[in-house]
């Protein structure tokens, strides 16, 4: 929930890159007051601050992202904290631990994370769509739709909701006297977790799983750098064939293993085949991380070649995990990428086998 729909925001909802300016720095990045950028701005760094004007979209990923100036297009951001103090003429799509709107958003706000605050002077002129744990509304918005269960929803006396308030939560929202909601208030009771300790444990295991995936993918990259680079490039010429190969291998291999295991003679071969199958499935999971990370990097770098690094893996792991929580579409996309990775891996290893056999090394 703390990262939410980051990839959904960065990929599924973002427009294709036109003429654009790209900035990347491990340190802080600032668009100074009075500075005018007449293009879309794609930026990744530490603390990102926009005090000037961006005449286009702002696509940003960093430790913190703060817009004090003006963005005439959309803001698409992934960070620990996203703060809008200035003006965004179109939409804000943010995935962050905390999203704070103290300025003006000209169209919709889509936010995912732990906390959303719309301050007393904050304005969202159209709809607000949320997947946020704690929500505080002090300003003016259009219809608010919180589809995922929220922990708390506070609507203060200065709030002005020009539309419906639709939300799911364990408890009803706290709506202060003086708050104006022009439409209907629709509350859906969310099921209460049996144990907060179990939920916390689940979160810990999820974090450990993500960390383990990162470490193992990094080790695979270090041990097999050329193979990793080749598989991550994922040639468009083989997409259909690799998807079909991955699908057939995933479905038919377990059936063949079961048939082998039902015979005494075939049992050892069945066990060996099962081990190979599990190894392929596991490695394909790592490769899918590299493929997703590489696709995102190539999107930012306009298709230019960039060597795989730990940054690729971080992008891939986070993007894959976030994609997974997007209802219906997310798991389907992740599964297709994994099947593609299985097919790519089998094609690569078969090509390597033929090459070694031809050179009589096998």
Residue 345's φ and ψ, nearest 5 degrees, are -65, -45
**Would you state the pLDDT for residue 229?**
85
pLDDT of 87-101, one tens digit each?
Answer: 999 999 987 889 999
- Residue 226 makes CB contacts below 8 A (sequence gap 6+) with none
Which residues lie across from 145 on neighbouring strands? 129, 166
**CA atoms of 109 and 93, how far apart (whole Å):** 6
Average pLDDT, stretch 66-74?
96
**Would you state the pLDDT for residue 6?**
39
Is residue 13 pLDDT above 50, yes or no?
A: no
Name which of 53-62, 63-72, 191-200 the model is least confident about.
191-200
Average pLDDT, stretch 179-200?
74
**CA atoms of 252 and 195, how far apart (whole Å):** 40
pLDDT tier, 21 (very low <50, low <70, confident <90, very high otherwise): low
- Give the H or E element holding residue 61: strand 58-67
| Contact indicator for 294, 355 with CB cutoff of 8 Å | no
**CA atoms of 271 and 256, how far apart (whole Å):** 11
DSSP annotation of 56 reads S
pLDDT of 302-325, one tens digit each?
Answer: 656 677 888 888 888 888 877 777
Average pLDDT, stretch 337-361?
82
Average pLDDT, stretch 44-64?
87
**Would you state the pLDDT for residue 94?**
86
pLDDT of 144-163, one tens digit each?
Answer: 998 777 889 999 999 999 99
Parallel, antiparallel, or unpaired: how do β-strands 87-88 and 70-71 relate? parallel
pLDDT tier, 241 (very low <50, low <70, confident <90, very high otherwise): confident
Token pair for 197: 């300790």
**Would you state the pLDDT for residue 26?**
54
């Amino acid at each position: 929930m703390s990262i939410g729909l980051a990839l959904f925001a960065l990929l599924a909802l973002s427009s294709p890159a036109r003429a654009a300016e790209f900035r990347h720095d491990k340190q802080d990045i600032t668009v100074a007051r009075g500075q005018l950028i007449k293009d879309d701005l794609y930026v990744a760094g530490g603390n990102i601050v926009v005090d000037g004007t961006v005449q286009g979209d702002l696509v940003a990923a960093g430790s913190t992202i703060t817009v004090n100036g003006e963005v005439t297009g959309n803001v698409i951001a992934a960070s620990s904290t996203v703060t809008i103090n200035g003006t965004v003429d179109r939409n804000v799509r943010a995935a962050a631990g905390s999203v704070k709107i103290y300025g003006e958003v000209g169209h919709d706000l889509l936010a995912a994370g732990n906390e959303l605050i719309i301050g007393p002077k904050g304005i969202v002129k159209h709809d607000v769509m949320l997947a946020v744990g704690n929500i505080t509304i002090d300003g003016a918005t259009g219809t608010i739709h919180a589809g995922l269960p929220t922990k708390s929803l506070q609507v203060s006396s200065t709030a002005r909701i020009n539309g419906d308030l639709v939300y799911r939560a364990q408890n009803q929202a706290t709506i202060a006297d003086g708050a104006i909601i022009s439409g209907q208030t629709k509350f859906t009771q969310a099921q209460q977790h049996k144990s907060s300790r179990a939920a916390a444990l689940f979160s810990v295991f999820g974090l450990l799983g993500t960390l383990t995936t990162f470490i193992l993918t990094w080790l695979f990259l270090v041990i097999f750098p050329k193979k990793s680079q080749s598989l991550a490039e994922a040639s468009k010429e083989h997409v259909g064939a690799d998807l079909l190969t991955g699908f057939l291998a995933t479905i038919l291999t377990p059936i063949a293993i079961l048939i082998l295991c039902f015979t005494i003679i075939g049992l050892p071969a069945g066990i060996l085949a099962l081990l190979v199958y599990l190894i392929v499935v596991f490695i394909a999971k790592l490769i899918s991380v590299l493929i997703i990370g590489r696709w995102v990097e190539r999107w930012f770098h306009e298709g230019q070649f960039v060597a795989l690094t730990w940054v690729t893996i971080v992008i891939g792991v986070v993007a894959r995990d976030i994609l997974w929580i997007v209802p219906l579409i997310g798991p389907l996309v992740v599964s297709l990428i994994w099947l593609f990775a299985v097919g790519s891996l089998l094609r690569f290893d078969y090509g390597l086998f033929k090459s070694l056999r031809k050179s009589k090394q096998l």
